[in-house]
Amino acid sequence: MRERRRVGIAPARIAWGAVPTLISLLRPVYSPTILVSVEGGHALISGRRIQVVTVLSFCCTLLILSASHSGYAAAPHDALQHELDLTRAALGRGDLKAADEAVQKALHLNPASPQALHLHGLVLLKGRKPTEAAEEFVRALKVKPAFAEALNDLADVYAAQGKSAEAQQALTKAIDADPKHAESYLDLAKLYESQRDAPAAIKTYQGLLAVQPAHAEALFSLARLQDYTGDTKAAAETLARLTKAHPKHADAWYLTGRMAEKRNDLVDAAYAYKQAVAAKPDLVDAHYNLGFIYRSQGKSAEAEREFLEVLRYQPAYAEAHLNLGVVYTSLGQLDEAEREYASAVELKPEYAEAHYNLGVFYELHRKDMPRALAQYRKYRELGGRDDRVERIVGSTFR
């Protein structure tokens, strides 16, 4: 036999503060000072019993009404939350029509709901109506001034409209409302960066890291800015924190490698680049830089492997073709070298160094001076200057 679903009103919550009042209504019935012995006492006691029954009936009625009211109040709240959840889910999957339908229902249930107003603003913003979206965010904030998400989204609209001062003010308020609101810190720091105010941006990233010490984006952005401003020691320390907390952060390893190269520490640079490509195999520039280090160290086989990896992911990388040509030349694989030099020139005709290397190849390895001269002349036309090339090209006009 199928069990019948029980549908009813949620259990009432008794307002215990009212209990003493109800008891006080009963107290005269049982008070010793009223219970006196008189003739016809049975009738008097009976009357008091009627009073007790009346009061108890009144109490039960209050509880039933209270239960009915609680059920009625809970239903709209649950319905509102349901529509808000539907709106968020629809926004998450990019279904603006469904999101708009759900948020309109939420606003019908409670026109002053700050969450509904905020979500309506997001729907409008996704629908490319930034002005109307900003108006909804402002309405939400009138109801709930310390609403970090609404402040952050309002700041995004202001920033897109070129209202930097208003965006900055909104983001500052968002951080005050929620000191752990990472998105507001990041947006404020990026706003400072766009204004070329590196010290303010650095301070903002540090503010976020004070509450979330392992925040990956804040650590990386801070290290990048520290390196840009010349504080390489601080940048290296920040990157060390980042790679310790997030060992697979490819961009952090790549920046570590670049900084090591700048100080000519090729061992550390190569290690960092290897970590970068291990974390992100298609990080082309890390493969290229690692290949260049191997080539400079005379490790031709390793260099070839890295440049081939570059071309596997990005076949039109002219610089990789050029360096692969140099590697093949050192290995005596002249046909492969010529092919790579020619590819570099074809892919990037304005690449002066590629014309120079192809000219040297024709001159020294093919003994084909006319073709070499054609490449040297192109090299000069593109602004290249080399004393040896000047002598060779100049001698042909004497």
358/328 same-domain check: yes
d(CA 328, CA 339): 10
Question: What pLDDT is stored for residue 396 in this prediction?
Answer: 63
Mapped onto helix, strand or coil, the DSSP state of residue 289 is helix
Which residue in 296, 369, 374, 372 sits closest to 330, CA to CA?
296
d(CA 124, CA 99): 10
Structural domain count, the chain? 2
Question: What pLDDT is stored for residue 394 in this prediction?
Answer: 78
Residue 264 identity: N
Question: What pLDDT is stored for residue 346 in this prediction?
Answer: 98
The low-confidence residues of the chain, meaning pLDDT below 70, are: 1-75, 396-398
Q: Which residue has the tokens 């004393």?
A: 387
306/332 same-domain check: no
Within a domain: 161: no
Name the residue range of residue 389's domain: 322-397
Within a domain: 382: yes
Q: What token pair was written down for 85? A: 């959840």
310/346 same-domain check: no
Question: What pLDDT is stored for residue 61 in this prediction?
Answer: 53
Cβ atoms 393, 377 nearer than 8 A: yes
Which residue in 195, 257, 274, 202 sits closest to 234, CA to CA?
202
d(CA 209, CA 203): 10
Within a domain: 131: no
Within a domain: 34: no
Domain boundary residue among 315, 332, 355?
315
Which residue in 324, 302, 300 sits closest to 311, CA to CA?
324
Question: What pLDDT is stored for residue 322 in this prediction?
Answer: 98
Q: What token pair was written down for 84? A: 């808000």
Question: What pLDDT is stored for residue 57 in this prediction?
Answer: 54
Within a domain: 151: no
pLDDT digits (tens, 9 = 90+) for 168-227: 999 999 999 999 999 999 999 999 999 999 999 999 999 999 999 999 999 999 999 999
Domain boundary residue among 278, 296, 315?
315
Question: What pLDDT is stored for residue 7 in this prediction?
Answer: 36
Residues in the chain: 398
Q: What token pair was written down for 240? A: 């060390």
305/342 same-domain check: no
Cα distance between the two ends of the chain: 112
Within a domain: 38: no
Domain boundary residue among 264, 294, 315?
315
d(CA 296, CA 309): 18
Within a domain: 376: yes
Within a domain: 132: no
The CA-CA-CA angle for residues 164, 167, 170, to 5°, reads 150
278/309 same-domain check: yes
pLDDT digits (tens, 9 = 90+) for 10-42: 344 434 444 444 334 444 444 444 444 444 444
Domain CATH for 308: 1.25.40.10
Question: What pLDDT is stored for residue 220 in this prediction?
Answer: 98
Question: What pLDDT is stored for residue 393 in this prediction?
Answer: 87
Q: Which residue has the tokens 């016809």?
A: 40
